[in-house]
Structure 1
Amino acid sequence: MSIRYTFGGDEFIFVEISEDMSLDAFFKGTAITRELQRRNVAGVTEICPANASYQVRYDPDVIAPDTLLALLKEIDAEVGDAPLELETRIVEVPVLYNDPWTHETLMRFRERHQDPSSTDLEYAARINGLSSVDAFIAAHSGTPWFVSMVGFVAGLPFMFQMVERSRQLEVPKYLRPRTDTPKLTVGHGGCFGCIYSVRGAGGYQMFGVTPAPIFDPGQRLSYLRDFMVFFRPGDIVKFAPIDRETYDRNLAEVEAGTFALRVKPVKFVLGEFKRDPDAYNRSLAEVLHAD
């Protein structure tokens, strides 16, 4: 894995870990940025991890560019010699798949879609070689996902499915972006899943909605009290299909300020995952539902 460092003006260093997205590249970037954050380096003002890269903003009056570059290379060497492990959390996100709101929206924009005669879920099932929408939903919700970065709009997580590359669900984005996407839509583009934190434009395929707010400047719910943005890079997400009755009940709990997500701390070890992904994912599910 050959890392490329690039200066951006007088205040940024962009680090490309790999041209291809992979769990190895993602974990290395996460490990480096977390170690950099832990060191609390004077002059480093922002650290932004991404899918297979990261960017650091710094004050050149406090830390010289070459000094910071040397530090990043030093941390990279230390991370490269250590097992890739991550103290993180696993989150269960309820999803009403095939909901009426994304369905109404996708029908308004069929002229922008690769297959105007089918829904987004039907199209996704077909191009992934699955027999039905139900089979696709089972594949989408059956394995966990890593949050590899948060951005585009406030609080939106990009997620990478935790299976071998040959099994990853892949669906292209719309031919032309929509001008509307319902708030809290669970979407997919390329190999990445996402949750649209707010209503707005978008080009990802739409599979369902979650009742769980993930961005709230008012911070009304318990899991948003510490910060208005819920997700962090490194979080593990497990989607849980729900029916309309459960969705409506969850929504009422959100309005009452009593809704809570199921969140558990977990230690993720990349080497153990790669030895047997299915068994490791089952162990993560056990952590999530342990009393």
Structure 2
Amino acid sequence: MKTRYSFGGDEHIFVEVDEEMSLDAFFKSLSMTNAVRDSNIEGVTEICPANASFQIKFDPDQIHPNDMLAELKKLESTAEAAEKRMTTRIIEVPVYYNDPWTHETLMRFRERHQDPDGTDLEYAARINGFDTVDQFIEAHHANPWFVSMVGFVSGLPFLYQLVERERQLQVPKYLRPRTDTPKLTVGYGGCFSCIYSVRGAGGYQMFGITPMPIFDPEQKTSYLKDFMVFFKPGDIVKWNPIDRTEYDRILKEVEAGTYEPKIAEVEFDLDAFNKDIEGTNAKLKEALNVG
């Protein structure tokens, strides 16, 4: 990995840790942004982390751009030496796959899709070599996912699958974006899954929907009263497939203010994960008492 630095106007520096997403690149980016925050560099006004990169906003009246760049480069060696482990949380997220609402939406936009005669799940299953949609859905929820970034729209998590690279699901975005996507749609683009936190335009394939709110600017949701955004980078997600009855039950609990996501605290060690991916995933799922 060779880090690339570039200026964005007079007030930003963009740092690209790697050209492709990997957990190694994420951990280096995380370590560097943590180091920037802990260093209290004069003039830094905002730190914006992404999947394998980050951007720093600074006040050029307080620190010269070249001096800001030098400070960041000094922190890179510190980040490379940092331990690649963290205490985080694994969260069970219920998903109603093949639901009627995303199905109705995706059928309205088939002219913008690679496969106008099928559905998003049928297309994703076929290009990933699965014989059936059910097999693809199982591959999507069988192993945990790592939240590598939160953003694009408020509260939207990008999730990276915790499996060997050759087993990762890959699905391109729509040929042309939709003008509508249901709120809480579970989407997919490239190698990333996501949850659309609000209704709006979108280009990711649509696989299902969750009844679990992840963004609440009014902070009325029981588990979002402390902060309006649920996810943060480093969280781990285990999708839990549900049917319509379970979806409706959870939705009623959310509306009544009694629903609480299933969460467990876990240790994630990147070196241990790389040595034994299957064993690490089994321990993560065990923390939630799921198979």
| Structure 2 partner of 1:275 | 275
The CA distance in 1 between the partners of 2:34 and 2:259, in whole Å, is 30
* Per-residue deviation, 1:34: 2.1
Describe the superposition over 1:70-119 as per-residue Cα deviations: whole angstroms up to 9, x where unpaired.
33222210121233112222111100001000011111111111112211
User: Contact conserved, 2:31 with 2:82, CA < 8 A, in 1?
Assistant: no
Describe the superposition over 1:228-268 as per-residue Cα deviations: whole angstroms up to 9, x where unpaired.
11111111111110111110011111111111111222221
Of 92-101 and 254-263, more deviation after overlay is shown by 254-263
1:242 aligns with 2:242: yes
1:263 aligns with 2:291: no
The CA distance in 2 between the partners of 1:132 and 1:37, in whole Å, is 47
1:163 aligns with 2:173: no
| Structure 2 partner of 1:107 | 107
Segments of 5+ residues of structure 2 without an aligned counterpart are: none
| Structure 2 partner of 1:14 | 14
1:24 aligns with 2:24: yes
RMSD, aligned α-carbons: 1.5
Segments of 5+ residues of structure 1 without an aligned counterpart are: none
1:5 aligns with 2:5: yes
User: Contact conserved, 2:115 with 2:123, CA < 8 A, in 1?
Assistant: yes
The CA distance in 1 between the partners of 2:114 and 2:282, in whole Å, is 35
Q: Equivalences for 1:91-170 in 2 at 5 Å?
A: 91-170=91-170
| Structure 2 partner of 1:57 | 57
The CA distance in 1 between the partners of 2:33 and 2:196, in whole Å, is 25
**Residue 35 of structure 2 aligns to a residue in which SS?**
helix
| Structure 1 partner of 2:173 | 173
| Matched residue type, 2:16 | E
The CA distance in 1 between the partners of 2:246 and 2:40, in whole Å, is 44
The CA distance in 2 between the partners of 1:222 and 1:78, in whole Å, is 39
User: Contact conserved, 2:101 with 2:182, CA < 8 A, in 1?
Assistant: yes
| Matched residue type, 1:60 | P
* Per-residue deviation, 1:30: 1.2
The CA distance in 1 between the partners of 2:27 and 2:267, in whole Å, is 13
The CA distance in 2 between the partners of 1:279 and 1:15, in whole Å, is 33
Give the TM-score, by structure 1 length. Answer: 0.95
Q: Equivalences for 1:41-52 in 2 at 5 Å?
A: 41-52=41-52
User: Contact conserved, 1:179 with 1:200, CA < 8 A, in 2?
Assistant: yes
The percentage of counterpart residues that share the same residue type is: 66
* Per-residue deviation, 1:139: 0.5
The CA distance in 2 between the partners of 1:260 and 1:16, in whole Å, is 37
Of 86-95 and 169-178, more deviation after overlay is shown by 86-95
The CA distance in 2 between the partners of 1:17 and 1:207, in whole Å, is 30
Residue correspondences, number: 290
* Per-residue deviation, 1:66: 3.3
**Residue 163 of structure 2 aligns to a residue in which SS?**
coil
User: Contact conserved, 1:130 with 1:136, CA < 8 A, in 2?
Assistant: yes
| Structure 2 partner of 1:285 | 285
| Matched residue type, 1:273 | F
User: Contact conserved, 1:178 with 1:203, CA < 8 A, in 2?
Assistant: yes
Give the TM-score, by structure 2 length. Answer: 0.95
* Per-residue deviation, 1:172: 0.9
| Structure 2 partner of 1:34 | 34
User: Contact conserved, 1:184 with 1:197, CA < 8 A, in 2?
Assistant: yes
* Per-residue deviation, 1:121: 0.8
* Runs of 4+ residues over 3 Å off in structure 1: 38-42
* Per-residue deviation, 1:158: 1.1
